Amino acid sequence: MLARIALITLAALALGACATSPTGRSQLMLVSEDQAISASRQAYVQSMGKLKDEGKLVTEPRLLARVERITERLVAQAVIMRPATANWQWSVEVIDEPETVNAWCMAGGRMALYTGLIRKLDPTDDELAQVMGHEIAHALANHTAERMSIAMASQIGVIAVGVASDQPGRNMALAATAAQLAILLPNSRTAETEADRIGIELAARAGYDPNAAATLWQKMGAVGGKNPPQFLSTHPAPGNRQQSLAQLAPQMEPYYRAARSPPTHPVAIGVAARGTNRRSPSRPRSGG
């Protein structure tokens, strides 16, 4: 009986909580974007506070200025694409972890970039713009709320299968694995591909060469070592990603060629590291 109730609840929530991504893809949304932004704000403050205490937040002016210059141009395009995001508290920290090749952007525009990506890839500005554009795209497409919603749906499904089974422990473990493979991972791969598509356009409109997306993933493949099979990975394989982005680049060329003196939008850079803003939020300005 409990299993039936759980399944009915899951079906009802799924039917009543659908949204559409910027690319037209249907998304499961049991969590609102405002809720995701609130949760992300709390997590970001806690995480950055801990990293600051550990001395892992970069304060080196030259690196921060580079990240700021690139990110502000990308965020300006994000705001053009979704005007409501002008009210987000856009910010970025650079985390000193030389072995971590990664970057991310939470709901609400809170970002981080790891020094490992800079040191191991030695990206050009065009390539770094592809990284940050991709991460910003995750926020624009509301992927944080989507992941939270999928996690909620997965938990309901696990409970239902466990209750209905004569061996709840074993079957709950199987259900968790099934939920991960059948629900979470395919959606995650789809979200990654979606962020690639949105991110390369953001970068092109901000005046960054779209061909750099393919060269970036060529570098990623070189430093990645032995990757898991694509079927069991939340990210498309570097080779596949490089090919897909290379095919997208010609479509982005008109945006890139048209980008003359692209606007910028203020981004708080290194705030947690230094405890003060380099610039107070203001209206978008031109240049960069």
Query: Annotated active-site positions, please?
Result: 135
String of DSSP letters for 161-212: HHHHSSSHHHHHHHHHHHHIIIIIHHHHHHHHHHHHHHHHHHHHHTT--TTH
Segment 49-55 long-range contacts (CB within 8 Å, at least 24 positions apart): 49/272, 51/93, 51/95, 51/272, 52/272, 52/273, 55/96
> What's the angle, vertex CA 34, arms to CA 28 and CA 35, rounded to 5?
70
Cα separation, 242 vs 249, in Å, equals 11
Burial class (CB in 10 A: 0-12, 13-18, 19+), 46: exposed
Four-CA torsion 100, 105, 106, 108, nearest 10 degrees:
150
In DSSP terms, 111 is beta-bridged to 92, 105
Assigned token pair, 150: 């999928």
Cα separation, 133 vs 213, in Å, equals 10
